């Protein structure tokens, strides 16, 4: 298990400000949280080096780009060999419509978050990408009707 990062109160305030708006400059963050730009810069660098901050990302509206359907897909594999797991991992890595993939416990092996332009496109993905693979035994799909909450912000202690 990885060692956790020992957050200071300043670190928490910096992360809160950056998660709310990652485009803020060090000066703007400093003004917002009552610190100096040089302190903000140093703490951001420490958090980057420690792996607390993994990068800076742009949030894009999938719907505005024509991806109107979000589907959560449970996937079960036929076997759990190293070869099968690697083949599945490669398939997911080559599938741009899969935004997230988690190995999970319970009745299924994986949970995917998949985007599609419409239900016919999702069906083509399901039949052509997933179910056509001999190592996938079954899938179960849940169509997202409405997004109640969607965030990438991590609660800062």
Query: Distance between alpha carbon 103 and the CA centroid of its chain, in Å?
Result: 13
Residue with tokens 């035994």: 137
Q: How would residue 157 be classed by pLDDT, with cut points 50, 70 and 90? A: confident
Beta bridge partners of 138: 76
CA distance 86 to 24: 40
Structure confidence at residue 5 (pLDDT): 93
Q: Which tens digit of pLDDT belongs to each residue from 117-144?
A: 999 999 999 999 999 999 999 999 999 9
Structure confidence at residue 1 (pLDDT): 60
Nearest to 98 by CA among 77, 115, 119: 115
pTM of the model: 0.85
Torsions phi, psi for 52 (to 5 deg): -70, -45
Nearest to 14 by CA among 43, 51, 57, 45: 43
DSSP one-letter string for the chain? -PPPP---HHHHHHHHHHHH-TT--HHHHHHHHTS-HHHHHHHHHHHHHHTS---------TGGGT--EEEEEEEEES---HHHHHHHHHHHHT-TTEEEEEE-SSS-SEEEEEEESSHHHHHHHIIIIITTSTTEEEEEEEE----S----PPPP-
Query: Which structural domains are found in the chain, ordered by start?
Result: 9-50 (1.10.10.10), 63-143 (3.30.70.920)
Q: Which tens digit of pLDDT belongs to each residue from 61-91?
A: 999 999 999 999 999 999 999 999 999 999 9
Q: Which tens digit of pLDDT belongs to each residue from 97-124?
A: 999 999 999 999 999 999 999 999 999 9
Token reading at 31: 């003004």
């Amino acid at each position: 298990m990885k060692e956790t990062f020992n957050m200071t109160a300043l670190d928490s305030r910096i992360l809160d400000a950056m998660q709310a708006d990652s485009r803020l400059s060090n000066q703007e963050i400093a003004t917002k949280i009552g610190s100096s730009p040089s302190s903000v810069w140093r703490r951001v660098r420490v958090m980057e080096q420690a792996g607390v901050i993994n990068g800076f990302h742009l949030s894009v509206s999938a719907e505005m780009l024509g991806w109107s359907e979000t589907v959560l897909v449970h996937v079960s594999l036929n076997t759990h060999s190293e070869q099968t797991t690697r083949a599945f991992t490669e398939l997911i890595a080559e599938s741009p419509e899969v935004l997230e993939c988690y190995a999970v416990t319970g009745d299924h092996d994986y949970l995917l978050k998949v985007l599609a332009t419409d239900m016919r496109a999702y069906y083509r993905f399901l039949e052509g990408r997933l179910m056509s693979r001999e190592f996938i035994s079954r899938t179960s799909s849940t169509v997202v009707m409405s997004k109640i909450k969607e965030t990438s912000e991590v609660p800062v202690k």
